[in-house]
Every structure is written in structure tokens, then in C-alpha cells.
């Protein structure tokens, strides 16, 4: 979404017309879910996708016609049956509701601040909700921060109170929903993944985690393993003694921090877990065999780490998919991280 919003803003800054199309709501099985977006240009080219196939082609056709006619925002609804998908394999049986917002050249400057605010919220990763009016004042858009406070809107006559009353709290990790003609598209705060250990597994998990939307931090005591070349997508790469660094980091760890321990040895794993087991992290996982995990837990219990702190540690970490290779291990770990992020618990 960041790349697509950047493309949209570049188009608006250049004063060029376009149509911003967003999946406002879905029901059942669909090729894309609410929040997916597509940018359509007057020459028929596009950026982003609504899932491809006949639905995307039809939205693009209507978007171009609306832009040429000077029409305003419109809602398009599709039932994915034989009419929309036989040739493309999209007979999903679901429904898609799409809001298409034509932006002619003469209003580019007026709408730019709104979309710039969305991009800023995406980059900050602190969470936000966009509300789209799809009945009545179709096309009105409202942006709220993670606490539900108004940020900005695109509406001739803003109705903040009524719209805000229909939005679920981000703290509950809500899914997109529609209430009384208002579609809410929640974007919960971006989780931070702290990877302790810059070896092959840590590197492989980092690559997947970046693609999955985590802000990645990496810690290792060896600079040749913890560096920007090995972790190009990481927001922070820390080199230093593992115990000392984690002790200093603890005040900055929150319930939105996912800690993964994948160091090169038993002693480093134990040292890392000593500092992380009782931390504020919402998730703590450690790689290793069941025997190794048991030995480390026994050692830490003897050092006074509370049993309840150890009980919440996911170890051995990862969804059981019979992993054997490093990429498979990374996949199993990434799957568990996503499950924990989306469900607040194991897969």
C-alpha cells in the first residue's frame, strides 16, 4: 500500500487525472479483500490490483468512463458468479463492493493533503482507520488515528461524530466491516519483530517478515552477521553484547513487539530469554529442540525467572510443517508470527 500511495501522490503532485479505486467491503470468497486498491490512469494503464479478471476490467472501464464524463465517486458491487469469472477462474461465490473515486486534474491539489495523511499514517505504523461512505454522501472519506481521534477528511459537510460512532476499536484488531453505509478499513499498529541472532534463520525470517509488514530489528554480537547488507529491509540493525543490549532495550519493548530468539548457541539463547521472558513483549519465541528448550527453562527457573514468564514462551517456535531446510523453518516461524498478530494466539 505504501508504494501505491506514493504513486498516487506523485500523480496528484503532477496535477494528472486518475481514478482511485478501493475495495470497500467483501463477503465470502473473493480474489482480494477490503482495503485492496487500484489506481487507473486516463490511458487505461493501472497500478495495484483488485484481484484481476472481469471484475477488475469492468471497474477500470467504468472508472475511465466516469473520469471522461466528469462524474463523481461511485460504488460498484459484484457477485462473483458465472457472469464475473467463468473465463478467469474467479467463480468464488462472494461479493465485492468497490468505491471508485475519479480525481480530475482541477481537484488534485484539494485531495492531496488527505492522501498524504494516509501515507504518513502508513509510514508511522502506529495504526489508523479509514472510513468510506458508500451510501448517501458516497465518496466521503474520513481518517482516524489509532485511538479513534479524527485526523482529516474528504467531505463537503463533515459528519465526524456519526461516522466515528460506527467504527470498532483498533485495540480489538477488528476486520473491515460495513455499518449503516459506512465501510471501515482498520489498519492496526505495525508490529516490531526483534530478531536476536543474525544467522541464516534470522536472515530468512527477516526477509519474510518485511514482506508481511513487520518492522524488523536485528541484534547480534558479530558485525559480520548484523549489518545492512545481510538485512537490507531491517529498520534497525544492532551490534553488541546480547545481554547488555537487551537489558537496555527492555524499556522500549511493548505488547506490540514480537521477540524471536535464533542465536548460534545454547548460551546465547538462554541469555536472550533471561531478558525477554518477563519483558513487555506480546510474543516471545525461541528456536531449538524440545530437549534444549527444557534445559534452558530449567536453568532460567533456577535463576529466578518466574514460571508464568516461561510458560508464555513459544518454544520450539513455529508452526509444525515438518520443516527441514532454512527456508522451510523461516516459513513456519513467519506463519506463527502472522497467526499471533492476527489472532492474538497460536495458529
Average pLDDT over residues 151-158: 95
The pLDDT assigned to 93 comes to: 61
Lowest mean pLDDT among 9-23, 166-180, 193-207, 284-298: 166-180
Q: Which of 270, 264, 6 is closest to 115 using CA atoms?
A: 6
The pLDDT assigned to 137 comes to: 95
Question: In percent, how much of the chain has pLDDT > 90?
Answer: 84
Question: In percent, how much of the chain has pLDDT > 70?
Answer: 95
Lowest mean pLDDT among 35-39, 166-170, 185-189: 166-170
Across all residues in the chain, what is the average pLDDT?
92
SS in 3 state form for the chain? Answer: CHHHHHHHHHHHHCCCCEEEEEEEEEECCCCCCCCCEEEECCCCCEEECCCCHHHHHHHHHHHHHHHHHCCCCEEEEEECCCCCCCCCCCCCCCEEEEEEEEECHHHHHHHHHHHHHHHHHHHHCCCEEEEEECCCCCCCEEEEECCCCEEEEECCCCCHHHHHCCCCCHHHCCCCEEECCEEEEEECCCCEEEEECCCHHHHHHHHHHHHCCCEEEEEECCCCCCCCCCCCCCCEEEECCHHHHHHHHHHHCCCCEEEEECCCCHHHHHHHHHHHCCCCCCEEEECCCHHHHHHHHHHHHHCCCCHHHHHCCECCCCCCCCCCCHHHHHHHHHHHHHHHHHHCCCC
Residue 338 has phi, psi (to 5 degrees) of -65, -40
* pLDDT tens track for 238-285: 999 999 999 999 999 999 999 999 999 999 999 999 999 999 999 999
Given a contact cutoff of 8 angstroms between Cβ atoms, the answer to whether 73 and 99 are in contact is yes
Average pLDDT over residues 298-305: 97
Q: How confident is the model at residue 83 (pLDDT cuts 50, 70, 90)?
A: low
Q: How confident is the model at residue 104 (pLDDT cuts 50, 70, 90)?
A: very high
Average pLDDT over residues 178-183: 94
On the question of pLDDT at 52 being above 70, the answer is yes
The pLDDT assigned to 81 comes to: 66
Q: How confident is the model at residue 107 (pLDDT cuts 50, 70, 90)?
A: very high
- CATH: 1.10.3720.10, 3.50.50.60, 3.30.70.100, 3.40.50.720. Which one for 192-343? 3.40.50.720
Given a contact cutoff of 8 angstroms between Cβ atoms, the answer to whether 80 and 116 are in contact is no
Q: Which of 238, 224, 18, 48 is closest to 112 using CA atoms?
A: 18
Q: For residue 10, how many other CB atoms are within 10 A of its CB? A: 10
103 forms bridges with which residues in the sheet? 18
CA dihedral 77, 80, 85, 90 (to 10 degrees): 120
The pLDDT assigned to 304 comes to: 96
The pLDDT assigned to 89 comes to: 45
Q: How confident is the model at residue 345 (pLDDT cuts 50, 70, 90)?
A: confident
Average pLDDT over residues 323-327: 94
Average pLDDT over residues 49-77: 93
Domain map of the chain by residue range? 2-187, 192-343
The pLDDT assigned to 88 comes to: 45
The pLDDT assigned to 86 comes to: 41
On the question of pLDDT at 347 being above 90, the answer is no
The pLDDT assigned to 170 comes to: 74
Amino acid at each position: 500500500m505504501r508504494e501505491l500511495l506514493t504513486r498516487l501522490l506523485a500523480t496528484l503532485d503532477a496535477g494528472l487525472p486518475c481514478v482511485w479505486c478501493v475495495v470497500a467491503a467483501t463477503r465470502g470468497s473473493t480474489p482480494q479483500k477490503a482495503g485492496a486498491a487500484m489506481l487507473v490512469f486516463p490511458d487505461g494503464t493501472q497500478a495495484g490490483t483488485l484481484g484481476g479478471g472481469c471484475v477488475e476490467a469492468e471497474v477500470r472501464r467504468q472508472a475511465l468512463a466516469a473520469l471522461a464524463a466528469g462524474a463523481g465517486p461511485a460504488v460498484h458491487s459484484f457477485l462473483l458468479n458465472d457472469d464475473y469469472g467463468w473465463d478467469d477462474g474467479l467463480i468464488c461465490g462472494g461479493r465485492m463492493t468497490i468505491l471508485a473515486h475519479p480525481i480530475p486534474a482541477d481537484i488534485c491539489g484539494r485531495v492531496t493533503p488527505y492522501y498524504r495523511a494516509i501515507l504518513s499514517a502508513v509510514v508511522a505504523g502506529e495504526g489508523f482507520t479509514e472510513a468510506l461512505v458508500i451510501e448517501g454522501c458516497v465518496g466521503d472519506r474520513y481518517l482516524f488515528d489509532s485511538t479513534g481521534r479524527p485526523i482529516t477528511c474528504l467531505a463537503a459537510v463533515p459528519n465526524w461524530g456519526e461516522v466515528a460512532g460506527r467504527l470498532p476499536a483498533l485495540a480489538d484488531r477488528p476486520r473491515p466491516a460495513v455499518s449503516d453505509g459506512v465501510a471501515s478499513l482498520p489498519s492496526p499498529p505495525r508490529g516490531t519483530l526483534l530478531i536476536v541472532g543474525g544467522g541464516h534463520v534470522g536472515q530468512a525470517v527477516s526477509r519474510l517478515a518485511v514482506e508481511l509488514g513487520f518492522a524488523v530489528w536485528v541484534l547480534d554480537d558479530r558485525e559480520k552477521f548484523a549489518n545492512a547488507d545481510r538485512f537490507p529491509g531491517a529498520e534497525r540493525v544492532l551490534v553488541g553484547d546480547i545481554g547488555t543490549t537487551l537489558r537496555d532495550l527492555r524499556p522500549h519493548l511493548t505488547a506490540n513487539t514480537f521477540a524471536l530468539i535464533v542465536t548460534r548457541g545454547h548460551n546465547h539463547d538462554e541469555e536472550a530469554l533471561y531478558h525477554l521472558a518477563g519483558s513487555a513483549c506480546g510474543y516471545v519465541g525461541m528456536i531449538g529442540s524440545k530437549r534444549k528448550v527444557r534445559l534452558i527453562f530449567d536453568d532460567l527457573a533456577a535463576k529466578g525467572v518466574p514460571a508464568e514468564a516461561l510458560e508464555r514462551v513459544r518454544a520450539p517456535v513455529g508452526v509444525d510443517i515438518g520443516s527441514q531446510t532454512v527456508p522451510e523453518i523461516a516459513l513456519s516461524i513467519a506463519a506463527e508470527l502472522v497467526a499471533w498478530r492476527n489472532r492474538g494466539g497460536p495458529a
